[in-house]
Amino acid sequence: MLRYVLSSVRAHKGRLLLTALAITLGVSLVAATFVVIDTWRAAADASAHHRPRGVDVVVGHDGDEPVPAALMDRLERVEGVASTTGVVVGVAQILGRDGHPVAGRDPMARTIDASFDDSLRAGRVPARPGEVVIDPATAASERYRVGDEIRIVSSASLPEPVTVVGLLDPPEQPGAAFVGVHPSAARDLLARPGLVSFVEVRGTPGTDERVLRDRVSAVVGEQYPVITGSELQAEVDSAAEPDPLFTTIFLIASLVALFIGAFLIRNTYTIVLASRARELALLRCVGAQRRQLRRAVLLEAAIVGTVASLGGLVLGVAIGWGVAALLEAAGAVPVDVTGRMPRLLPRTVAITLAVGVVTALISAWGPARRATRVPPIAALRGEVYVLDRRVRRVRAIVGGLASLCGIGLLLAGGLADPAADALVRVGAGLTVVGVLVLGPVSTPPIARLVGRLIHPGRGVAGRLAAENAVRSPRRTAATVLPLVIGLALVGFLTTLAAGSRASATGGFDHAFRADFQARAFSPDASMSPAVPRRLEALPEVAVVAAIQSADAELTARDREAAGIGLVGVDPSRLAATLALNGNLADVTDGGIALRRSVARERGVTVGSSVRVRGAGDSERTFVVRAIYDTSGFGDLVASRIADFDAVITPADFRRLIGDPGVTTVYASLRDGVPPDRARTAIGRSLAGHPTVEITSRAELRGQLAADLDPALRVYFSLFGLMIVIALFGIANTLALSVLERVREIGLLRVVGMQRRQIRAMLCWEAATVAATGAVIGLALGSLVGWATTRALNLSATDVPVALLVACAGGAVLASLLAAALPGRRAARVDVLRALATE
């Protein structure tokens, strides 16, 4: 039987090729997922070695509150402490060769000393002010080398020239655009006189870091967090770990791709074994038992699965490398992944092979079991069992009920006000199950209708194509359903993305009244006070709202303190630039405006008193004068233009927080001023501030829509691979049907059908199957997508009909290409040999 299996694989290798390709594509995603994760982790482990040596304890590592430099004197008197180092962390931006800030990564600056000597990639640590180290990624992208003079800028300084003396990976923030400065330069560059971000404590030889941590904690108290160096390293490593969401999405996509591939494998073996019924019957006649034949078929599937999985492993490494490069280019990977070889672990090889082989075995089990049930005498007589003789009534009942209930729940959940997300989730699940179960019942009538629509008046070839597409309901359903799944996901994502874009742009149009936004180069940085003054001096500008922001804690009604985002701005100017749906004009010194969600959580109303704690021990009592609402903005819009929880006047902000600088400026133009002229005037006025980003209203609106694009590209790429697998299924089914229908094709040629008509018949058959899958899949996906946009309470829903039609057209065109080779093969069938075929 083993020799029979091996000879069968060699004899039918052409038939099994597309099956192997389906497995290869499916398992390649599994392999790619693990390759990306393992390479990412290897890069993160490598970056862990770029930490200062000998640090046993860290005080104030979270950076929430600066640590007084005077505290280090007290710490050095603690038993077991050898030395302390005050580290200043801030924001400094590297300017590229074009004079603009380096884009794509968050900027970070930090003091560097001799403890980093062993961690440098090249060069040395700064020995004096005016010398810096930068990260290798920035050096490579801007073609900077050790010894080059570059310019950097921070919130506390204008662009100044410095010399690159070394290359070092960011110690605390993997993936940042990093600048390491000499400790004596921190005061001028990072504006932290008398304060440090955290303190590194080194113990004497033989001192346990946990014992030293407890001693330091007793001196510091509860004001600043104290952790060991090992605990800090674990936090840094965790920050560089692959995102669990990314892992989950890719693994789910891999499973869906394998599920689609399983349909193709099952369909292939069903057709192949049906055509080999006489062969199997002869084996039964010479003594082979049913279980031997089943084992032979499963062994054949295992061989195909193994070979295909090895191909998928190779392809997965390439895909993983490409995905890693895309993620790193998009800034989603905080470490240098593409700077090292892809990591292929034995676990990845084992899982990939196991998944591919098991998928092939499970998919081939049903066809093998059915094929070996055919009585040998019946097979020898040519009474080969016919697939899909009838569909069981229970399938029609169960599938129909599930589909109807699912669609009903989707409509009920989507049309409810507010939308019921639980109904939408249950309805989506029932609808998908119903479509899968009902496939052999629903596919033939839909395919027949679609066939009449897409090729009316196509003559004999068109009519035969329509009939061939529905002659075997189960086979057609097995061919269509993979395409249904892929296009349903595309339709779902397309509809959801269109609704999200419409909601974001609609919320922005309602919320943003200003014409321009000026922001610092980083959320953690601030602008020079001269920026809003220069904008106010322009004759084109009518209103300028300069916003200062900081983190604070709010206490109300004896409840526990809660963290809030606090801004200081002239309330009337803010109301003129943002539609906050609250009477901010009532907020004066001593008053505060709260976001409605915060006020509801803290149980306060207009007139209530609240306490706000700022930097250090500064704390003040405010009276709630207004409650504003940003729920109509949408989460994406609110996070971009109104990401704050409370508003106070600039004077109160300075008394509570200090003067950290302006982070955002909104500017409204005078009536009749063209935006282009204003943009030119603003650019000239702020020419001396290269790190200030000026964005017009139209540009902000476009950025909101573009924020969704990176994720959509990844998802559409994954779903596109699923559709490719489904198209392989169409090509495979047609190719095998040509082998099945050799005599039929010969008879058609005898009665006058020409070769081009044979080719046209196969192409129209493929188009009918693809169009059927597109109709079912896109209708299902867009319905679930619409209900999901309603369940997410998006302010707008949009079903992109034109884009969905384009997707359907693309699927049909791709199916025509997939049918080209089977059609050519069918047209070249020798008529006499075809008529002699049994």
**Could you say which DSSP state residue 504 is in?**
H
- What pLDDT band is residue 187 in, cutting at 50, 70 and 90? low
What local confidence, expressed as pLDDT, does residue 477 receive? Answer: 78
How far apart are the C-alpha atoms of 541 and 518, rounded to whole Å?
Answer: 13
How many Cα atoms are found within 13 Å in the side-chain-facing hemisphere of 185?
Answer: 27
What local confidence, expressed as pLDDT, does residue 616 receive? Answer: 63
Phi and psi at residue 630, to the nearest 5°: -120, 10
What local confidence, expressed as pLDDT, does residue 387 receive? Answer: 41
How many Cα atoms are found within 13 Å in the side-chain-facing hemisphere of 700?
Answer: 25
How far apart are the C-alpha atoms of 361 and 19, rounded to whole Å?
Answer: 12
Q: Which residues pair with 94 in a beta bridge?
A: 152
What local confidence, expressed as pLDDT, does residue 570 receive? Answer: 93
How far apart are the C-alpha atoms of 150 and 501, rounded to whole Å?
Answer: 40
How far apart are the C-alpha atoms of 503 and 664, rounded to whole Å?
Answer: 24
How far apart are the C-alpha atoms of 36 and 41, rounded to whole Å?
Answer: 9
pLDDT digits (tens, 9 = 90+) for 720-774: 777 777 777 777 777 767 766 677 777 777 777 888 888 888 888 888 888 888 8
* Rg (alpha carbons) of the chain, rounded to whole number: 34
What local confidence, expressed as pLDDT, does residue 290 receive? Answer: 79
User: How far apart are the two ends of the chain, measured CA to CA in Å?
Assistant: 26
What local confidence, expressed as pLDDT, does residue 96 receive? Answer: 84
Structural domain boundaries in the chain = 1-48+246-385, 57-239, 521-691
Q: What is the DSSP string of 360-382?
A: HHHHHHHHHHHHTTS-HHHHHTT
Out of 211-220, 375-384, 489-498, 793-802, the most confident range is 211-220
What local confidence, expressed as pLDDT, does residue 420 receive? Answer: 75
Q: Which amino acid is at 165?
A: V
781: number of Cβ within 10 Å? 26
Q: Look up residue 606 and give its two tokens.
A: 């207009």
Q: Where is pLDDT greater, at 701 or 263?
A: 701
pLDDT score of 50 more than 60: no
Q: Picking from 55-69, 293-307, 779-793, which range would have the lowest pLDDT averaged per residue?
A: 55-69
pLDDT digits (tens, 9 = 90+) for 233-261: 777 666 656 667 677 777 777 777 778 77
Q: Picking from 123-137, 150-164, 280-294, 326-340, which range would have the lowest pLDDT averaged per residue?
A: 326-340
Q: Picking from 90-104, 121-135, 321-335, 461-475, which range would have the lowest pLDDT averaged per residue?
A: 321-335
- Are 352 and 319 in contact by the 8 Å Cβ rule? The answer is no
> Ramachandran region of residue 451, left (φ > 0), alpha (ψ -120 to 50) or beta?
alpha
pLDDT digits (tens, 9 = 90+) for 333-355: 555 665 667 778 899 999 999 98
How far apart are the C-alpha atoms of 531 and 682, rounded to whole Å?
Answer: 10
Mean pLDDT in residue range 399-416:
87
pLDDT digits (tens, 9 = 90+) for 190-205: 555 677 888 889 999 8
What local confidence, expressed as pLDDT, does residue 837 receive? Answer: 57
How far apart are the C-alpha atoms of 110 and 460, rounded to whole Å?
Answer: 77
Mean pLDDT in residue range 5-27:
74
Q: Which amino acid is at 783?
A: L
Q: Picking from 263-277, 419-433, 475-489, 782-796, which range would have the lowest pLDDT averaged per residue?
A: 263-277
pLDDT above 70: percentage of residues in the chain: 85
pLDDT digits (tens, 9 = 90+) for 277-335: 677 777 777 777 878 888 888 888 888 889 989 998 999 888 887 777 776 665 555 55
> SS3 string of 317-371?
HHHHHHHHHHHHHCCCCCCCCCCCCCCCCHHHHHHHHHHHHHHHHHHHHHHHHHH
Among residues 546, 585, 568, 554, which one has the least CA distance to residue 654? 568
Q: What is the DSSP string of 26-58?
A: HHHHHHHHHHHHHHHHHHHHHHTTSS-TT--EE
pLDDT digits (tens, 9 = 90+) for 795-814: 667 778 888 888 888 888 88
How far apart are the C-alpha atoms of 299 and 1, rounded to whole Å?
Answer: 10
What local confidence, expressed as pLDDT, does residue 124 receive? Answer: 92
What local confidence, expressed as pLDDT, does residue 248 receive? Answer: 77
Q: Name the average pLDDT for the chain.
A: 81
670: number of Cβ within 10 Å? 13
pLDDT digits (tens, 9 = 90+) for 567-600: 999 999 998 898 888 788 889 999 999 999 889 8
pLDDT score of 158 more than 70: no
What local confidence, expressed as pLDDT, does residue 177 receive? Answer: 83
How far apart are the C-alpha atoms of 367 and 390, rounded to whole Å?
Answer: 16
Out of 390-399, 474-483, 714-723, the most confident range is 474-483
What local confidence, expressed as pLDDT, does residue 413 receive? Answer: 82
Q: Which residues pair with 67 in a beta bridge?
A: 196
What local confidence, expressed as pLDDT, does residue 609 receive? Answer: 92
pLDDT score of 705 more than 80: no
How far apart are the C-alpha atoms of 271 and 470, rounded to whole Å?
Answer: 15
How far apart are the C-alpha atoms of 420 and 787, rounded to whole Å?
Answer: 9
- Are 152 and 95 in contact by the 8 Å Cβ rule? The answer is yes
pTM above 0.95, yes or no: no
- What pLDDT band is residue 44 in, cutting at 50, 70 and 90? low
Q: Where is pLDDT greater, at 684 or 705?
A: 684
With both helix axes pointing from N to C terminus, report the angle between 244-275 and 290-329 in degrees, rounded to the nearest 10: 150
